[in-house]
Amino acid sequence: MLKNLQNHINKNLAFLNESKILIAISGGIDSVVLTHLCHQLKLNIALAHCNFHLRGEESNGDEESVKQLAEQLGLEVFVQNFDTENYAKTNKQSIQIAARELRYNWFEDLANQLEFDYILTAHHVDDNLETFLINFTRGTGLEGLTGIPEVNTIFVRPLLPFSSEAIEHYAKVNTIAWRDDRSNASTKYVRNKLRHNLIPILKEINPSLLQSFQTTLSNLNDTTDLVKDSVDNLLSKAIVSQDDDKTVFKISEFKSLRNPKAYLFEVFKDYGFTEWNDVLNLLDAESGKQLFSATYRLIKNREHLLLSEINNETEENILISKEEKQIESPFGLLFFDEADAIFGKRTEVIYVDADTLEYPLILRKWEDGDFFHPLGMSGKKKISKYLKDEKLSLLDKEQVWVLCSNNAIVWVVNRRADNRFKVTENTKNILKITLQ
């Protein structure tokens, strides 16, 4: 196994030979064997162990065994203790998810602080098969069936091509001691049910199950690459614009596809949407129709789909006194300056009769029922109608602010001033308001 791992690293993970490496070690057989193998290969390694304090003295025994192994091999070891149960309760998580979150966050923090290049975990092909079956059982897309990635940012899993049987054989032949986690024998968890109940049956049906599985994974990963290339090609044509607030997609590009639903799934799956027929129907829905996930929303706007993150923050009204010459707003800086005359016409600048204003001025989001008297027009107009006539999307409408004086709108900011506050031949004092 040592020679096979060396060949695998030299062929596929050669960067490890020149890297500073942190090994995530539990004290169990997989991570202990990984440590011995890497030590034999003379890789530059240190150990990191998490004590989750979930199994009483057994947890402390695991920690002690890791420290002894580090001393035996002359390796640096880092140990972190966690109050896992309290963390899970506080964050309303299962113990498994809490432990995983604590573990990976600490590994990354440790690697960043001490400048480790990579973190190795001891996942093997049996783990990969279990993950595949869990995802398959719960329902997933193609990516959920492609297994655990061998390299994922700074996390590397060099034992993925090897079986648990091969790892155990190496440990016994080389008289390597390890700790057994008794919870692994329990069928309380889905992974253990698969490991102890289902997978042995599958191996009876096909003794070469793991080899067949690895071949299948390789084929699925090749297919995933093809799908990714196809989706990237679509996005290069479908994305009209993209900024911090939203991404705009051209609907016609999706409708021209033979199977738009499949592409919609690939494009929007990472944003929490799950009702794919609803997403498909959005292509032909009336303008303004919305779909929501927990964190994002998708809006039909004429010939486009708009994707934006849901912002649950409420923006408060801003009061502006007569003495203020500059204020900071969510959309930029507003400057208030005296002027002698009107110079040019720009949407980001208005000139008003200063004596018609009542303070404090109020800067706020527009609301249903708001109306103003558009400069250059006779009569009044509802803000909602004005924004519709301007052909603003729902998202853009939500970002419109108004500047008010005693409940009367002075300015639909960066769009249009109100006729009631305009400069006339009788104006004595002109106030220039500029958005930057």
Q: Say yes or no to pLDDT of 56 above 90.
A: no
Average pLDDT over residues 118-125: 98
14 DSSP 8-state letter: G
What number of helices (H) and strands (E) belong to the chain? Answer: 15, 22
pLDDT tens-place string over residues 21-51: 999 999 999 999 999 999 999 999 999 999 9
Q: What is the rounded average pLDDT for all residues in the chain? A: 93
Q: Say yes or no to pLDDT of 3 above 90.
A: yes
- Number of other residues whose CB lies within 10 A of the CB of residue 148: 18
Measured CA to CA, the distance from residue 260 to residue 273 in angstroms comes to 15
Q: Say yes or no to pLDDT of 420 above 80.
A: yes
From its phi and psi, is residue 407 left (phi > 0), alpha (psi between -120 and 50) or beta? Answer: left
Share of the chain above pLDDT 70, in %: 99
pLDDT value for 313: 64
- Number of other residues whose CB lies within 10 A of the CB of residue 86: 11
pLDDT value for 310: 86
CATH number for the region 230-309 comes to: 3.30.465.60
Average pLDDT over residues 385-412: 93
Task: Assess contact for 175 and 37: CB atoms under 8 A.
Answer: no
pLDDT value for 314: 64
> Residue 214's beta-bridge partner residues?
none
Q: Say yes or no to pLDDT of 160 above 80.
A: yes
SS3 307: strand
Average pLDDT over residues 193-197: 94
Q: Say yes or no to pLDDT of 62 above 80.
A: yes
Q: Nearest 5 degrees, angle CA 393-CA 398-CA 402? A: 120
Average pLDDT over residues 414-427: 95
pLDDT value for 225: 93
What spatial distance separates the first Cα and last Cα of the chain, rounded to whole Å?
66
Q: Which CATH class is domain 318-435?
A: alpha beta
Q: Comparing 110-119, 156-165, 246-255, 388-397, which segment has the lowest mean pLDDT?
A: 388-397
**Residues contributing to the annotated binding site:** 26-31
- Number of other residues whose CB lies within 10 A of the CB of residue 229: 10
Are 2-205 and 230-309 the same fold in CATH?
Answer: no
Q: Nearest 5 degrees, angle CA 248-CA 250-CA 252? A: 165
pLDDT tens-place string over residues 362-389: 999 999 999 999 998 889 999 999 999 9
Q: Say yes or no to pLDDT of 315 above 80.
A: no
CATH number for the region 2-205 comes to: 3.40.50.620
Measured CA to CA, the distance from residue 116 to residue 20 in angstroms comes to 5
Tokens of 174: 């080389």
In whole angstroms, what separates CA 318 from the centre of its chain? 32
* Domain map (residue ranges) of the chain: 2-205, 230-309, 318-435
pLDDT value for 124: 97
Is omega for the bond preceding 360 within 30 degrees of 0, making it cis?
yes
Tokens of 225: 């690459």
pLDDT tens-place string over residues 69-82: 999 999 999 999 99
In terms of Cβ atoms closer than 10 Å to its own Cβ (0-12, 13-18, 19+), residue 394 is middle
pTM recorded for the entire structure: 0.70
Measured CA to CA, the distance from residue 220 to residue 203 in angstroms comes to 21
pLDDT value for 435: 94
pLDDT value for 142: 87
Q: Say yes or no to pLDDT of 357 above 90.
A: yes
From its phi and psi, is residue 85 left (phi > 0), alpha (psi between -120 and 50) or beta? Answer: alpha
* Cβ neighbours for 124, distance < 8 A, ≥ 6 positions apart: 30, 159, 160, 162, 163, 164, 167
**Residues contributing to the annotated binding site for ATP:** 26-31
pLDDT value for 378: 87
pLDDT value for 208: 96
Average pLDDT over residues 84-106: 93
